[in-house]
Structure 1
Amino acid sequence: MAEPSIRILLVEGTSGVTGPLREGLFRWPMRPAEGGDDHGRPGFEVETATTLAAATARLSDASHDRRIDVLLLDLALPDGNGMDAFTHLHAVAPHIPKIVLTPTADEQLAVQAVRAGAQDYLSRDQLDAHLLARSIRYAIERQRARDALQRHARNLVLLHRATQALTASLDLDQVLATFLEETRRLLGVSITSVWLVDARSGDLVCQHCSGPRSEVVRGYRLARGQGIAGWVAEKGESLIVADVTTDPRHHADLDARLEPPARAMLSVPLLSPTRLVGVLQAMDSQPNRFNRVDLALLQLLAPTAATAITNAQLYEQARRDAADLQARNEELNAFAHTVAHDLKNPLTTMISFASLLEEDLAGLPENSETRRSAQYIMQAARKMLSIIEELLLLAGVRQREDVIVAPLEMGSIVSEALQRLIPLIQERGAKIRLPAVWPVVVGHAPWVEEVWVNYISNAIHYGGAPPVIEIGARPTGAGTTLFYTQDNGNGIAPEDQARLFTPFTRLDQVNTKGHGLGLSIVRRIVERMGGRVGVVSKPGQGSIFYFTLPAPPNPKPSHPPTE
């Protein structure tokens, strides 16, 4: 099916060189009667304006029933000349792509025009209909790409503010109040609300609402499956409702409390890795208000919101139960401090890692500021994921009463750890040296893999430039085997080494990237498996981090997996 014709506003003085040009556009084969060529590409329709004033009036006429798709501008007009005419029309219609027509190939004027916002320039003495048609289409495509990038940049700023609101406090009501207000601004809608699952009844309860008459909605209950929010909670699926008055799932009693009543609704489930946390909802009094872009924005916020809400709830629960859980005080304090300090900062920077952004920026140069910013966002997201994984690992270590140990294929375990660290290894240009044969020990394979990930990533972070890391093992002669990583970094002072394996210790070093929790988890893991941890280091001579594990009866060496 052919696309609609491209409508051109041709702005030139009466001295007139574009008569043949205009006729060429009309006669050109890409303008058949139905408005497109044999390939479905659109043809052209041309309007003209012979003065700057006439062009301004046409571009400013919002009531006109035909849009202008592209502007062809002759810089020699009776009432405006040169770049002044371009600057004026660009201010009137900044989002319409513009092609500047010059009498001759004037490079200086072309550079000025492109810098000021023109998509292209053409010399009239070298112009033909084919060249002009191609330039028009490219100009429209480039303008669309520029507009899309500007929209994404605006959305990223607003997403960042909304994400900051989620991590500004551990008080749930305060977090939600600020977050919902920022989300309302992001979407430009009347009302936003968060419905949380009541753990006892399974009902959805409106925990917080932002917008007109929000106080009458706060505390309202919906059974699972009741209303649009209940449907989203039950199905675990996002939903756009163009007009709630025509949707049988809508809960009319709730709508009666709002003034003006909601017509359009957008709902997204808040999901943690283990459960449904609740539903994030946006409403507006105008029907057909929401689109796929709005949905994508809320879906970007939803995982962070679910994590922040879960963390705030867990923090509150930890405070209430502190008197009854005195025996586990160390773990609870570690978790509370992690939520309060380490998880807070990376969450503020994890504003987007959406494929939408990656696809839109893929065509930009590698060294562009926008692309570098997107890469930084991805790095911050990985950091947040690492912290969350460590928190989950810590919880698993604390909760498991018994640890099932078995002989380990250490070569395979180290290989899996290295696979997880490929982006970091490539980024730093790290060189890894491995032994040809690994001794067999007993332990819990998933935990041992986490130990290696921590040790190797620390060696890369704190190693030289580039990091050179030796990974190896040797028997201790006491029924255990010692495994180690040795780096070529700056080393660690003796007074700092004793604090390395305690929670929330940060060493004041160049290039320090640690968030203060990993080595304390390593110590807990290894000790639960019957081993010990330690470090050997001197300033200026690098560091050796090691752990020991018991050897099984009659051990047999294992080999690294075949490449």
Structure 2
Amino acid sequence: VSAGEPPEASFDDFPRPDGLGARAIQRERRCMSYGPGAIDIHPAKKQAGATALACWPLVVGHEAVGALYVYRCDSRRFSDTELLILDNFVQFAAIAIHDGRKTGGLSRALGRKVRQLETLNRASNLISSRTNLEETLQEILFIGLDLTAAQYGSFETFDRRRNLLVTRALAGSKEPPGSEPPLPVDELSVVGWAALHRQSVRIDDIRRPPWRNIYHRLPVERDMRSELVVPIFGTGGALEGILNIESPQPNAFSERDRQLLESLGVHAGHAIQEIRLLDALQDIAEHLLNTDGDALLKLIVDRACDLINVSDGSIWLVSAPDTLVLRQSTDPTRHGETLSLQNSFTGQAVRLRRPIAIDDVRLNPNFMRPELAQERGWVSAIVVPLLASKDDALPVGSFALYAPELRDFSDWDKKLLTVLANHAAVAIRDAEQLRLLQQARERQATAETIAAVGDVAANLLHQLNNKFGAISVRVQGIEAKCPEALEAWPYLQKSLGQISASVRQAQSIVHDSMAPLQPLKPQPVQVADCLRNALNRANLPETVVAEQRGLVDLPPVRAAGKQLEMVFYNLIDNAQQAMGGTGTLTISGVVDGDCVAVSVADTGVGIPPERQAAIFELASAATNRRTGRLSFGLWWVKTFVDRFGGRIEVDSKPGQGSTFTVWLPIERNA
């Protein structure tokens, strides 16, 4: 049968032995005239103007009954929606042809199938109209009962994490769904058997072996005799649940009933996936404004693994021109790992700005962690870029999922993961913008506070210097006018000398304590010079080994030299104290994008996790017990770094030392 042929078309187009139709039937799946490994269109069709071809095998129970060819004569390729519609249509068409041949009444069979298609179409519309998962599952169950003229049944969803079937909908029972214990996916129950073997089961009499030994009663008053169980799969082949229909009459269900429920299962699988995706997006949206970034990304990773039925997932962020950093994953021990953006499979999705899939990561040379794949049992993988919007010049990172079996990720899988990746990208972008906004507000508030305090401090310092000066003048006056008394009274001479020394010491203490309040004068500053002055001032003992890496070639940064020296001095002095005066101090510097990153690492006792969030707070700045002076404090360190337009972070584990990293903006006008 053909339709839509142009007038000039030739009918000398018998199927080729090695053509698309033969390939589609051999593989039992759709084949296209474009894409990797595609076969060209039949010359007769191409001469008639065909530009694109999709061919579906018409197969029932591995028995081929024909092939459906659909051609396009324009420049556009088939859309995903068109292909999905035809994917569903050919299943019904194959069944119709098969039944028509079997009964010898093709017209009656086609008419019957048309009516069934209409029924299923109405059912699909009813299912799609539901707005939450519970309503959708209950509607699927009711439609299944209607198609088979039954009254009793249940719908079990598949809990992937626990490998259990959980009852979510019931019919003919006074008990609410969930009152029955979940059933494992094994051969100890009928629904478990169907889920395990991924095939439907029609039981004419459940009192006969082997079914009587594994039948689990529905919570209904009547005894059941017949059962029809159909597993429901999503677009990617993942098990979504089990549709279970039962009857108190033996031999209540026919083979046609099974076929109808299997067709219903196709629509049900798509609907369940769509509802679960909508539920996931709603859940993510609810957490978007009141959940911290890492917790939100963890939620997105978990939802993606659940929706696409994979074991592991990870979100990588672009950190440097050629570096990806692991921000979130199902394995928290790996957070902070890095990959090459240019040479890795994960970075390929970022560079190409499109989804990338690998059939077997163990054999792909671009997968840089084959030992990890072996350890975690990964086989197939899919990665999509993190794009907050289509106009982004470069994705902020990538979203990767790993499956423990050979997996052909479907278009639905790619679209679903892309949607979740976009939400993750928006969350990352919003978190970064919020951080920058809060940082700008903090800088402004700090600058205003320090300016006000600086005015008070400057006035106080002026008054104190006047008083100190008056004392010094009086002492000098006494020494000039009373030399005889001083010579005759050594105690007086000694006391005046001590007074003068105390005045000078007090002036020095006041000056050093007020130094953090001096006005900032940002200018190009050499990091290596400030670090050298800070090390000289720290006067490290011989028991502390100081190592310097990559500091000489660093570009100038925009900062205030005196205050930046105080930042480094405080970090070095704190490191020395943390090591108890013995250990290795490592100071390193690198260019990180538009910033210079300077790290000060020690081999000391480390900082407990519960204290790390508070070390930069004002309450942590206390009086230095060794000198009796106001401590510079990590609050001041953070304050100066913020005012320079940079940031500071700490990475520390008890017993393994601490690393403080300061990012400073590069001076572009130097």
**TM-score of the pair, normalised by structure 1:** 0.36
TM-score by length of 2: 0.31
Higher relative contact order (CA 8 A, sep 6+): 1
